[in-house]
Amino acid sequence: AEQLLAGGGAGRLRWANYLEGDFNEHRELAAAELGLSEAALGALQWHQVPDFAAVDARKLRDYDLVVCAQPGALRASDPLGFLAGAHQLLKPGGLLVVGTQYEWPSAAAGAGSGKEVLEAALAPWFEEALEPQDLPFAKAETARKFECGVQQLSFWRRREQELPAAAAGAGAASPAASGAAAAAAEAQGQAVYDDEAVLGQYLDFHYGPQSEYPAACAALCLEAVRELGVAPQRALEVGAGPGRASLELSKVFGHVDGGD
């Protein structure tokens, strides 16, 4: 967040891209290249809260759209805990967009495999609203090393009321397992942000010249919003920090929050 605010000066983003070994280059991006005015970029507010328990969860409610679709978002956090509580973030009729490669932690072993885990966790409060979309991505670790994969984006409409347990089925993780996973993820996340190389990779993935996934993800989300008639008022992107998709959503939504 510090680099995004001041690293490139007013109206600019600046970061280091790692090439080979200890060699790196600095990249810079103007607000206009993101389709934003300098005033819009300057109006963005970044807040870093080391202890997630300090966040007022009551403010993270009543969203029309919640997006958790960036590669690794459901691997680096507590996926089952997030999915089980996602309905609390949304208004009835709101849209949840989940992106995953269906790689689940051991805590999900009893819930099945593949998409079954996702369906079981969301069934009490959500119904699938659109056909899933496959979206490829490539994350550069260096100029010669990439992580490649295909995220499947699925689109879920929040119900007015929870389904009875028998109709929804089982599959959610126990609170104890979910809490333990969340604590481990918090420690892992803090270590990641202390690593300059990882921070550079993150910024390059979201804002670099070869990155297409975050903007394409936002475009699919906005297309779903229009098709389903979701009000473009309040949106939340989870698991991407101050990412490119959040910036793209802010061009349509009146209020956008983004965080890990």
pLDDT interval class at 176 (50, 70, 90): very low
Q: Tens digits of per-residue pLDDT, 25-35?
A: 666 777 777 77
pLDDT interval class at 153 (50, 70, 90): very high
Asked if residue 8 is part of any domain, the answer here is no
Give the model's pLDDT for residue 41: 66
Asked if residue 138 is part of any domain, the answer here is yes
More confident residue, 7 or 206: 206
- The CATH number that applies at residue 131 is 3.40.50
Q: Which residue segment(s) compose the domain that 112 sits in?
A: 47-259
Asked if residue 107 is part of any domain, the answer here is yes
Give yes or no for residue 92 having a pLDDT over 50: yes
pLDDT interval class at 142 (50, 70, 90): low
Give the model's pLDDT for residue 210: 63
Angle in degrees, CA 7, 11, 16, rounded to 5? 30
Mean pLDDT value of segment 6-18: 56
pLDDT interval class at 100 (50, 70, 90): very high
Mean pLDDT value of segment 75-86: 80
Sheet containing 126-142: order of strands = 126-142, 145-158, 90-100, 63-68, 234-238, 255-259
Asked if residue 5 is part of any domain, the answer here is no
Regarding beta strands 12-20 and 23-30, do their DSSP bridges make them parallel or antiparallel, or are they unpaired? antiparallel
Give yes or no for residue 170 having a pLDDT over 60: no
Asked if residue 209 is part of any domain, the answer here is yes
Give yes or no for residue 79 having a pLDDT over 50: yes
Mean pLDDT value of segment 110-133: 88
Phi-psi region of 64 (alpha: psi -120 to 50; beta: other; left: phi over 0): alpha
Q: What is the mean pLDDT of the chain?
A: 75
Asked if residue 24 is part of any domain, the answer here is no
Asked if residue 13 is part of any domain, the answer here is no
- Crossing angle, helix 196-207 and helix 213-228, to 10 degrees? 50
Asked if residue 233 is part of any domain, the answer here is yes
User: What span, in angstroms and rounded, lies between the C-alpha atoms of 200 and 13?
Assistant: 12
Q: What percent of the chain has pLDDT over 90?
A: 28
Token representation of residue 14: 């600046």
Mean pLDDT value of segment 222-236: 96
pTM confidence score: 0.76
Tell me how many domains the chain contains: 1
